[in-house]
């Protein structure tokens, strides 16, 4: 599984999102856009987006959240390409995910200070 790591800080006055990508040589997933630093504050909305490259037609895109000194926690999964109509909705209604044939986006509305965390985007190819 190839992953993107996005660190989201929501500070009351000077918040920041820092994105760092890692990946394997077979498939690639990483931040979309030239600027990986985004300024946000509480109650704002934010979209975390990553693009991917894969030859597979059966793609699952996962989003996780990780708090300091804790293991990553599953947020949601979204299918792409052949699985574009599949996925699991998050229990937090402020979260929404979109997927295209080459990217995924996690939107968070009404940001809270407790949303400050490390966000992971991961790609998994599925065998049919």
Q: What is the pLDDT of residues 17-48, one digit of tens each?
A: 333 334 433 466 665 665 455 667 888 898 88
Q: What is the pLDDT of residue 110?
A: 93
> How many structural domains are present in the chain?
1
Q: What is the pLDDT of residue 109?
A: 93
The domain of 44 spans 2-125
Most distant CA pair in the chain, distance: 48
Residue 59 belongs to domain with CATH number:
2.60.40.10
Q: What is the pLDDT of residue 3?
A: 55
Low-confidence ranges of the chain (pLDDT < 70): 1-39, 84-86, 88-89, 127-128
Secondary structure of residue 113 in the 3-state scheme: helix
pTM: 0.73
Residues 6+ apart with CB under 8 A from 52: 2, 27, 28, 29, 30, 59, 61, 102, 103, 104, 123
């Amino acid at each position: 599984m190839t992953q993107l790591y996005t660190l989201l800080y929501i500070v009351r006055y000077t918040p920041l999102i820092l994105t760092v990508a890692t990946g394997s040589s077979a498939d690639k997933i990483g931040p979309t856009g030239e600027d990986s630093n985004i300024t946000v504050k509480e109650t704002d909305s934010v979209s975390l987006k990553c693009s991917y490259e894969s030859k597979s037609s059966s793609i699952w895109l996962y989003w996780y959240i990780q708090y300091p000194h804790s293991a990553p926690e599953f947020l949601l999964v979204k299918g792409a390409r052949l699985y574009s109509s599949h996925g699991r909705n998050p229990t937090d209604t402020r979260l929404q995910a979109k997927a295209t044939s080459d990217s995924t986006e996690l939107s968070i509305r009404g940001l809270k200070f407790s949303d400050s965390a490390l966000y992971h985007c991961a790609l998994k190819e599925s065998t049919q």
